[in-house]
Structure 1
Amino acid sequence: MAEHLLEIRNLSVEFHTATGTVKAVRDVSWHLDRGETLAILGESGSGKSVSSSAIMNLIDMPPGRITSGQILFDGQDLLQLPDEARRALNGCRIAMIFQDPLAHLNPVYTVGWQIVEAMTAHGTDHATARAEALRLVTRVGIPNPQASLAKYPHEFSGGQRQRLMIAMALAMKPDVLIADEPTTALDVTVQAEVLSLLEELKQETGMGILIITHDLGVVAEIADRVVVMNAGEIVESGETAEVYRNAKHPYTRKLIAAAPGKGVFHDPLPRAEAVLSVRDVVKTYSGFRALDGVGFDLMAGECMAVVGESGSGKSTLARILLRLEEPDGGKALWQGRDLFTMSPAELYKLRRDLQMVFQDPTQSLNPRMTVFQLISEAWIIHPEILPKPQWKARVAELLQQVGLSPAMAGRYPHQFSGGQRQRIAIARALALEPRLIICDEAVSALDVSVQAQVIELLDKLRREMGIAFIFIAHDLPVVRDFADHVMVMQGGKVVEQGPVREIFEHPRQPYTQRLLAAGLDPDPEVQAQRREARLGHPAAMQPGI
């Protein structure tokens, strides 16, 4: 019998690039046992995803190369197996859930076909596979499972697609499940449901779960042990609670200190004359009312957070305020002028004052333009902002402000991680020196320390320059630290709004209370109390948690 279900010993991985050799993983060792959840925690570039890709034989070689080490599964070194033998293990005994389910589900096949194919590829007959696919889809909580098997990936929400990937990964009852950032883009309640589902399935099957994340709350919620990586090396490891309470390495302490949700509440700004007044906004799609009488006031220099689950109308509201879509009714007065009745020429002049940072930078950044071109394009459209001889210096300054190197200005979007692309999108919005920035999940994909850095930057800009923010987010600790005012949406309606302290400490509506209870805390002890409260033990919930 092998000592551990899965064990990595002294693994080193490097990549050969045009600028030299990058040592992505350096002499890494860790193990995973049956019925255990191990978290690999670290920021972008730490090597956590590369080490897991090596397990599944997903590293492109070349340019990648495994220079040393062993990957032992049930005592057998996977690196010594032929490719055919490894393919027989992948998906059958070792399965993986990826960060972006839409990118890893085939858009031209139904989800039922894809789940069935995952089983028939390993020898299961079609009838048995079809019956098991229906059972799995039901088990992961997809509504109307029989009809859902005939649907395509784009017909599901992000949380549902992630559940479908879990169903596919569990089809062959694997011994090891690797989950790479499985909840990054999910709403807070869906995130709690997915993590709870993974824990239930682990208890049912006895599989070991390897979860790769930059979110300390996810670690506190689900992990038994944690391995902390930085610059390709393991800097600390141990029991989750022990590492949180008594972190020894400076990098681990920095990550814990950067976790949001522990700072003081912002004192609300005086509710003077609003720079933006929204009244009774309505938007309907084919009989479905996406926005139903939404209204609020936003002051100069104020941050108003908009929270709620997918489908609540948050992003629809953002697009309508920028006239990327047209409303069916209502008003949006910007400094007394109705945005909804402005002509295209009037809107063109106003565009530099109203900017948006979209949720998915991959879709909002032109892949054919360099970072320098993406940022400086704003000054081509609005040449009065900055003379051309100053463009290079200003681009360098903006990149430094969002935590990137000026040397990256000549690169293209595909050469960056998701978090780095989001920072480029923020720099591009700041280039126009706007009066209002709408952030649609703008920091959800960022590492915890970079997230803290970007939030600090945005906070500084609004206090020094009077920039107002509409901050759409599902990360409640970030909202707690950054926002002055919170608006809670459900089903296209505003169910509650008020100062951030009032909403977080004294929520009035059951829906708001449920959202706050589903949030994750980086402290394992606090998170254990929240989990007990969520499972039906209200006495375990302490005031202010």
Structure 2
Amino acid sequence: MADHLLEVRNLSVEFHTAVGVVKAVRDMSYHLDRGETLAILGESGSGKSVSASAIMDLIDMPPGRISSGEILLDGVDLLTMPLSERREINGRKIAMIFQDPLSHLNPVYTVGWQIREALTTHGTERAKAQAEALRLLGRVGIPDPAHALDKYPHEFSGGQRQRVMIAMALALRPDLLIADEPTTALDVTVQAEVLALLKELQRETGMAVLIITHDLGVVAEIADRVVVMEKGVLVEAGMVREVYKNPRHAYTKKLIAAAPGKGEMHEPLKGKEPVLRVRDVHKNYGAFTALKGVSFDLLAGETLAIVGESGSGKSTLARILLRLDEPDSGTALWKGRDLFQLSPAELYKLRRDLQMVFQDPTQSLNPRMTVYQLISEAWVIHPDILPKAKWRDRVAELLTQVGLGPEHMGRYPHQFSGGQRQRIAIARALALEPQLIICDEAVSALDVSVQAQVIALLDGLRKTMGIAFIFIAHDLPVVRDFADHVMVMQKGEVVELGTVREIFDTPQKPYTQALLAAGLDPDPDVQAQNRAARLSRAS
């Protein structure tokens, strides 16, 4: 038997691009034992996902190339193995779940077919595969698994799709499960459920888990050991508690210092009139009621955070306020004018004042346009904002503000990581110097240090330019640091509305209390206490 289930030795991966060779991973070494959970922590572009993709043989070659190293599974080097043998190992001995399950589940096949395929490809009889698919869906907590087998991926919520991916990954009882940002886009309660499910399945099967994340709370909740990566290099490794309490490398210290939820809470603004008054907004989609009489006020320069689980109506409300959807009833007075009654011409003029940053930048950024074109497009549509001679300098300034650089202007969206694409989307929204920005999970995909930088940027704009924000988020520590007021939604209704201090210190409603209890703390000791308290309440 090998000393370790997985051992990576001196792994180096590079990509050949039009502007030269990018060294994504450099001489990386670590190990993972059976029944153990190892977290790879780092920012976008640090090489986390690339190193994991090398294990699964998922790197496109070319342009990628593994220039050095060994990847040993039970002592056998995967990199020198014939492709036919490698194919047998992927799925059977090593499985992977991805950050965005909707992009990795085939939209034209039912989830039952896809789970069965994972089994039959490796020799399981069809009847046994059907029974096992049914058992797996039930095991990962999908309601009515017999009926769910015949559903398509789009018919499930984000958390349910992630559970389907976990079921597929576990179909062949692998020795190693690689989880690449598996909870980034999930609500706090669903995130807690998915992480608890992974730990429970790990105890049952004895599999090792390699989890890739930028979230210190996830590391504190699930990992035994952690390795920290910066710019392709492993800079620190150790037990989770030791690394958090006594970080040695400057980059690790920076990540820990940037963790949200520890700063001073905002005191609510006083003496200002609301710029937006929303009253009794309803929206139905056939038999489904998405919004049930939502009302709130928003002051100039104020941040209202909207929190709640998927399906609570947060994004529907955002789209209605921007007239991307139409309400069934209600009013939304922007400086005294009802947004719902404006003509298309009036709405066009107002668009520059009201901007939105969407949750998924891959869908909101035109893949055919460069970063320069994406950001400067705002001035093409509204030419009175900025003379063309100043466009390039302003784009460079905006990119620098959101943590990128002028050298990124000529690239296309697909050449960036998910977190970097979100920064581009934020820069694009800022180009028009709006008075209200609606951020729909705008920082959920960002690394902690970049997240802190972007939040500081938005907070500075709020103070200096009087920009108001409607901040839709599931990351409660970020909400605590950034918001003035918090509105908690559940199933289309406002269940609680108050200052950030009232909501976080003295929540009144059980639903709000459950949301806060499900949040993850980056301190392993605090998170262990929270987990124990949660289990005590559940029992």
TM-score bracket for this pair, using the shorter chain length = over 0.9
The residue correspondences of 1:317-466 to structure 2 (distance < 5 A) are: 317-466=317-466
> Deviating runs (4+, > 4 A) in structure 1?
none
Q: Distance in 2 between matches of 1:314 and 1:342?
A: 23
CA contact (8 A) 1:367 1:413 kept: yes
* Amino acid aligned to 2:297: D
Aligned to 2:526: 526
Superposed CA deviations along residues 502-540 of structure 1, whole A, max 9, x for unmatched, are 10010000000000000011000111111111112599x
Partner secondary structure for residue 386 of structure 2: coil
- Once the two structures are TM-superposed, the CA of residue 272 in structure 1 deviates from its matched residue by 2.9
Counterpart CA distance in 1 for 2:195 and 2:221 is 8
TM-score normalised over the length of structure 2: 0.99
Question: Which residue in 2 is equivalent to 1:543?
Answer: none
Q: What does residue 76 of structure 1 align with?
A: 76
In the other structure, the counterpart of 1:89 is 89
Cα deviation digits, residues 45-74 of structure 1 (max 9, x gap): 111111111111111112211121111111
Matches of 1:208 and 1:366 in 2, distance apart? Answer: 39
Tell me the CA shift for residue 460 of structure 1.
Answer: 0.1
> 1:49-68, aligned counterparts within 5 Å?
49-68=49-68
Please say if residues 272 and 300 of structure 2, whose CA atoms lie closer than 8 Å, have aligned partners that are also in contact. Answer: no
5 Å-filtered alignment, 1:479-518, equals 479-518=479-518
CA distance in structure 1 between the partners assigned to 2:234 and 2:287 by the alignment: 54
CA distance, structure 2, for counterparts of residue 353 and residue 338 of structure 1: 14
Give CA-to-partner distance per residue, 1:141-166, whole Å, 9 cap, x none. Answer: 11111011001111111111000000
Which letter does structure 2 place at the counterpart of 1:486?
A: V
Tell me how far apart the structure 2 counterparts of residues 66 and 241 of structure 1 sit (CA, whole Å): 33
Q: What letter corresponds to residue 386 of structure 1 in structure 2?
A: L
Is the partner of 1:196 in helix, strand or coil? helix
Amino acid of the structure 2 residue aligned with 1:248: R
SS at 2:3 equivalent? coil
Per-residue CA shift, 1:263-301, capped at 9, x if unaligned? 010111116310000000000010211000000000000
Alpha-carbon distance between aligned partners in 1 of 2:454 and 2:157, rounded to the nearest angstrom: 28
Contact 1:271 1:299 (C-alpha < 8 Å) held by counterparts: no
Q: Distance in 2 between matches of 1:538 and 1:415?
A: 45
**Contact 2:278/2:295 (<8 A) preserved:** yes
SS of aligned partner of 2:65: strand
> How many angstroms apart in 2 are the aligned matches of 1:50 and 1:21?
15
Map Cα deviations across residues 221-268 of structure 1 (whole Å, 9 max, x no partner): 000000001111111000000100000000000000001001010111
Structure 1 SS opposite 2:91? coil
Q: Kindly tell me: are residues 19 and 536 of structure 1, through their superposed partners in 2, closer, same or farther at Cα, counting changes over 3 Å?
A: same
Q: Spell out, residue by residue over 1:427-483, the C-alpha distance to the aligned partner (whole angstroms, 9 max, x if none).
A: 111111100000000000011111000000000000000000000000000000000
Query: What is the RMSD of the two structures over their aligned residues, measured on CA atoms?
Result: 1.0
Q: How many Å apart are 1:372 and its aligned residue?
A: 1.1
Counterpart-to-counterpart distance in 2, 1:335 and 1:20: 52
User: Cα deviation per residue 1:339-395 (whole Å; 9 max; x = unaligned)?
Assistant: 111111111111110000001111111111111111111111111111111111111
Q: How many angstroms apart in 2 are the aligned matches of 1:538 and 1:419?
A: 35
Secondary structure of the residue aligned to 1:270 is: coil
1:408-441 CA distances to partner (integer Å, 9 max, x unpaired)? 1111111111111111111111111100000000
Deviates more, 1:394-403 or 1:302-311: 394-403
Which sections of structure 2, spanning at least 5 residues, go unmatched? none
> Partner amino acid for 2:225?
R
Quote the sequence identity (%): 78
CA distance in 1, matches of 2:48, 2:394: 34
Structure 2 CA distance, aligned partners of 1:446 and 1:400? 16
Q: Is the 8 A contact 2:38 2:225 kept in 1?
A: yes
> 1:137, CA displacement in angstroms?
0.1
Correspondence list, 1:305-320, <5 A: 305-320=305-320
Partner of 2:433, secondary structure, is: coil
Which runs of 5 or more structure 1 residues have no equivalent in the other structure?
540-545
Secondary structure (helix, strand or coil) at the match of 2:409 reads helix
Separation (CA, whole Å) in 1 of partners of 2:376 and 2:80 = 50
Rounded Cα–Cα distance in structure 1 between residues aligned with 2:347 and 2:65: 53
2:23 equivalent to 1:23:
yes
**Aligned residue type for 2:418:** G
Say whether the 8 Å CA contact 1:228–1:235 is kept in structure 2.
yes
Number of the residue aligned with 1:122: 122
Counterpart of 2:453, as a letter, is Q
Q: Secondary structure at the match of 1:497?
A: strand
Q: Secondary structure, in 3 states, of the residue corresponding to 1:511?
A: helix
Could you say what secondary structure the match of 1:218 adopts? helix
**TM superposition shift of 1:31:** 0.6
Deviations 1:386-406 (A, max 9, x none): 111111111111111111111
1:79 maps to amino acid:
L
Paired residue type of 1:222: I
| TM-score, normalising length: structure 1 | 0.98
Mapping of residues 60-209 of structure 1, within 5 Å:
60-209=60-209
Find the aligned partners of 2:538 and 2:189 in 1 and give their Cα distance: 17
Distance 1:22 1:348 in 2: 43
How many residues are paired up?
A: 539
- Residue equivalent to 1:303: 303
Partner of 2:290: 290
Give distance in 2, aligned partners of 1:289 and 1:107. 26
Task: Describe the SS at the equivalent of 1:410.
Answer: coil
SS at match of 1:143: coil
Q: Distance in 2 between matches of 1:469 and 1:59?
A: 40
SS at match of 1:91: helix
- Look up the equivalent residue of 1:84 and give its one-letter code: S
Deviates more, 1:262-271 or 1:497-506: 262-271
Letter in 1 for 2:38: L
Cα distance in structure 1, aligned partners of 2:258 and 2:118: 40
Letter in 1 for 2:519: G
Task: State how far apart, in whole Å, the 1-side matches of 2:326 and 2:493 are.
Answer: 18
Q: Is the 8 A contact 1:261 1:477 kept in 2?
A: yes
Given the superposition, is the C-alpha separation of residues 334 and 198 from structure 1 closer, same or farther in structure 2, using an over 3 Å criterion? same
Q: Distance in 2 between matches of 1:215 and 1:391?
A: 35
Label 1:150 to 1:321 Cα distance change in 2 as closer, same or farther (>3 A). Answer: same
